[in-house]
Structures are given as structure tokens and as C-alpha cells.
Structure 1
Amino acid sequence: MARRTAPVLTAAAALALSAVAVPTAASAATASDRAAATQRAVVYRATAAYQLHANAVKAGYVPDKYCVTDRAGSGSLGYPHFNHAYDNSVDPAKPAALFYEDDGRGGKRLVGVQWLVYDRDQNAATDDDRPSLFGTRFTGPRAGNFPGQPIHYALHLWLWKANPKGRYETYNPAVTCLPGTVRPKPAGGAGARPRP
């Protein structure tokens, strides 16, 4: 199976790169648009191998057993897989998280990535250290998603599955969580959050 999958992944990555890395004459891309496209091409190359879920796990991305959805109904993240060695990375090739969805055949399909940067002063009221990547500012600062996680900034990129709300939006309405896969609500009714 791995033999047949590799050429398909290589072809998919090549098509994605050709669509992103070379702006057309009609697009009249600005320098910042070209820089963002180049950075996205780096992400495509760096994460193409993670289309095979086992490769991501082998590379240190730890899967959460629950699919994360926005309880307000704006979409889902899918199953987060965090590699905390890449916390505070703004390197396009080193996202801190990968997001997968069920592929309908018992496996997982890569849909998006995320960068996570800790707030320098740990004060959610200030944002003078807000990072950016792809010419896009990170969201936040926001409180940690689990006890002990610092106040942080985040940037999502829906690189492997289009997000109708926008490429950098947090939740993707095109990503769904199957029944029974979402983290149960904790006692007291607080919303579920991804636990990296």
C-alpha cells in the first residue's frame, strides 16, 4: 500500500506547489503575496509526508484521541497532533500542530496545520510581541487550552483542505467530527478544548 500511495502523494504535492508557488501574470501578485506563496510552498513540502498519518506520529506529532469542534458551530479543527518541540516556531517548515479528519475508510487525512507562540509577557491585555507568518498576524493572545499552557498566539493554515471562511481562520466548516469522536463536556458544562 505504501508503494502505491507515495507516487500519489508526490503528484498531489507537485500539483499543490505548482498552483501556489508560481503566480500567474494575471494575478499581478505583490511582493508580499509572492513571499506568502513561497512560505506556503515550504509548508506543502514540509508536510506532504504527513499525508501518511504514521509519518506524522513517527516525526513526534502526538495525536489527541478526540476530534475538536467549535461548540458555537463555526466548524471544526479535526484531530490535533502536537509536536511541542515546535512550540514558539515561526518557521513555515515546523508547525507545532497538524490537524486530521476521518477519511471515511478508518484512517486519517491531513487537513491543516498550526503554529503556536507563547506570549512574551504573559499578559493577555498586551500584544506588542504578536508574530506573523505568510503576511498574516497570529490570533490572540489567548489563555492556554489546558492547565499549565501559557498565554499564546496561534495561526492556523488550511493547506490541505480548503476553508470556505478563509485560509487562516481557526475553525473550518468543511471539517466534520464523526458522532462519538468529540471530547465529552467536563463536569460543570465548560466547553471542550484541545489538549496538546
Structure 2
Amino acid sequence: MFRTCAAGAALGLLATPLAAETYDLEALRAATEKYRDVEVALADGYIPDPSGHCVSAAAEGLPAELGAMGIHYLHPALLGLAEPGDRVDGTGTHTDFTKPAILLYEPQADGSVELVGVENLVFAKAWAEAGHNGPPEINGRLWDAMADDPATDADEAHGFTDHFDQHVWLFRENPAGPLEPMNPNVTCDHAGH
């Protein structure tokens, strides 16, 4: 769905990864368990996506049955975010999922948030400058290549410059698989409550 040959070609990268990592998902869950408490995440430098947007498949022009990602809490230093511009850009090449650059929270009816997964994102230009000629890989899966196609009305890169990203659903089972971008068991129904 998100991983397309066109996106990879648009990024000018080969399909062979140079940064293949294998993680035990139970060990990852244990390493990130503390972030179930959003206050711990805030104290460790994570901030809610400034847009306040809860990402759902339907809002992204995709079939609603794909579910959602939730609200992204970003760690600006791990992402190496640049000064604000037309698109979010940065120098981030961080791939360590034991200290993820992004935490995914589902909004709850009572106004709280529940940790459902983690994510890392590397900016394509910085990644290539670091000597990589393909996307990172986790547990045999290439990260998703995200590049905006100016020929469409959609924003395929979601406001970011060209990048690779990878979601890992550690705290909410994903029937599509633990490494897929959207999770049918996550909802944005309570966003803004």
C-alpha cells in the first residue's frame, strides 16, 4: 500500500538495504513499555505532533478498513528536525527501535491516550549522504518509501520531504501484521475529545 516501486524510484534508491536489523518484538515491547505513560514520554523529550492530527486511513484517502496510526509523538532530536519550512525536513538517520523517534498513541474517549506502537523515520537525503543506497530493513521487511508525487492532489509524503518510515505495532495487535503502516485495530474516533 505505502511501499511502491514508484516511491523508491522517485527517491532514486536501489531496493537493496544497507541497514538490515532484526529485533525480537517482545524485547522491543519491554524496552518501550515505559512510554505507556505519556508523561514519561514527554519527560524524555517527545512532543505531540504540532498539527494535533490523528492519522487514519480514511483521512489519508485510503480505504477506512485499513484503520489508523493514531497521534504521533515526535522526538525532534532523534529525527534531526530542521527549521520549519514548506515540508518537514531533517537530518535524522536514527533506526534504533529500542529508543524510537516516534511513539504512536490512540486517543481515548476520556481524553487520555494509549500507546499502540512505535515508529522510526529517516530522511532520504540524509540517509543517502550517510552512504546508504536503499531503505533500511527490519525483520526482513524494507521500510516504506514515502515521496510526494506533485502530479497528484494527494500528499503521499504527509507533509514531509522524501523519507523512509517504519511502524511496529507492539501494544495493539495488527491483523495485517506487526510491521504494516496502518492498523485496523486502531481508531481516531475519539480524537479531539
User: What TM bracket, shorter-length normalisation?
Assistant: 0.5 to 0.7
Displacement after TM superposition at 1:163 (Å) = 0.7
Work out the CA distance in 2 between the residues paired with 1:142 and 1:156: 17
Instruction: Give the equivalent residue in structure 2 for 1:133.
Output: 138
Paired amino acid for 1:53: V
| Structure 1 residue 152 corresponds to structure 2 residue 163 | yes
User: Secondary structure, in 3 states, of the residue corresponding to 2:186?
Assistant: coil
Instruction: Give the equivalent residue in structure 1 for 2:69.
Output: 77
Work out the CA distance in 2 between the residues paired with 1:49 and 1:121: 30
Return closer, same or farther for 1:180/1:106 CA change in 2, 3 Å cut-off. Answer: closer
Which of 116, 121, 126 is the aligned partner of 2:121? 116
User: Secondary structure, in 3 states, of the residue corresponding to 2:30?
Assistant: helix
User: Secondary structure, in 3 states, of the residue corresponding to 2:125?
Assistant: coil
Displacement after TM superposition at 1:109 (Å) = 0.8
TM-score, length-normalised on structure 1? Answer: 0.64
Work out the CA distance in 2 between the residues paired with 1:36 and 1:122: 19
Query: Deviations for 1:92-150, whole angstroms, at most 9, x for unmatched residues?
Result: 21211111112344311100111101113899xxx93211123321011423422xx32
Contact 2:107–2:190 (8 Å) recurs in 1: no
Query: Deviations for 1:63-97, whole angstroms, at most 9, x for unmatched residues?
Result: 13231111221211111111122222111212111
Higher relative contact order (CA 8 A, sep 6+): 2
Unaligned runs of 5+ in 1: 1-34, 183-196
Contact 1:90–1:133 (8 Å) recurs in 2: no
Contact 2:135–2:142 (8 Å) recurs in 1: yes
Work out the CA distance in 1 between the residues paired with 2:121 and 2:107: 24
Unaligned runs of 5+ in 2: 1-20, 80-92, 149-156
| Structure 1 residue 56 corresponds to structure 2 residue 41 | yes
Work out the CA distance in 1 between the residues paired with 2:169 and 2:191: 24
Identity of aligned pairs, percent?
30
RMSD in angstroms over aligned alpha carbons?
2.6
Return closer, same or farther for 1:128/1:106 CA change in 2, 3 Å cut-off. Answer: same
Return closer, same or farther for 1:66/1:150 CA change in 2, 3 Å cut-off. Answer: closer
Displacement after TM superposition at 1:179 (Å) = 5.3
Instruction: Give the equivalent residue in structure 2 for 1:106.
Output: 111
